[in-house]
Amino acid sequence: MADLVFGKYEVQHRLAIGGMGEVFYALQRGVAGFERPVILKSLLPELAQQEGFIDQFLDEARVAATLNHPNVVSIFEVGQWNGTYYLAMEYIRGRNLAQIIRKALEQQMHVPPLVAVRIVRDAALGLDHAHRATDGAGNPLNIVHRDISPQNIMVRDDGLTKVVDFGIARASNRATRTATGALKGKVAYMAPEQVLGGDVGARADQFAL
């Protein structure tokens, strides 16, 4: 067995590296042969030394951890190990919608209408859950994803669709705030008010979807 990182995870391979951290496919190990595939996201050590980056990284976990719905990716754990901040989340065996569309185009096909409707329906149910989420006292969290795009809609091999990556979501339980007028997300899918830098609500996610 390979060395465990973060105390309990065996990294299999790196999936991606971005501006803030790295993403790995790993196996969570436990007693009595327990094993579970997970996705690990870690904050680059050099960024942990800079003001604000830790809060931004932990914000994604803070927002997503309040959500419990079949059509939203699950967060299992957030922690710190040997000076590295990380979060462990559900591994979704499948492909994102961008990959599905690209494969269909390569084969000169269209995504079948009934399949497209099911994907949008599942994503809409996940977003609706996020938009209606409340804290322990019943206060609305006002979560808006703000980056709904094919890359952030995962379709599992069994057909279930899940919304992922709440990294730039707006929510009342975020520790950090993005600057007024800062453009976050992918322009091709943005609602007009988001492009103009105005305040966005749940309708912006619906527009993007």
Digitized pLDDT (tens) for each residue of the chain, 209 residues in all: 557 788 789 999 999 886 677 899 999 988 888 899 999 988 877 777 776 777 777 777 777 788 999 999 998 988 888 878 888 999 999 999 999 999 999 999 999 999 999 999 999 999 999 999 998 889 998 899 989 999 999 999 999 999 998 866 776 665 554 544 456 678 899 999 888 887 888 999 999 99
The pTM for the full model equals 0.84
Catalytic residue check, 128: no
The answer to whether 45 and 59 have CB atoms below 8 angstroms apart is no
**What residue has token string 């929510």?**
171
Retrieve residue 73's tokens: 């990716």
Of 59, 122, 147, 165, catalytic: 147
CA distances from 92 to 36, 159, 161, 163 (A): 12, 11, 9, 11
Residue-level length of the chain: 209
Query: Cβ distance 36 to 112 under 8 Å?
Result: no
Q: How far apart are CA 136 and CA 65, in angstroms?
A: 12
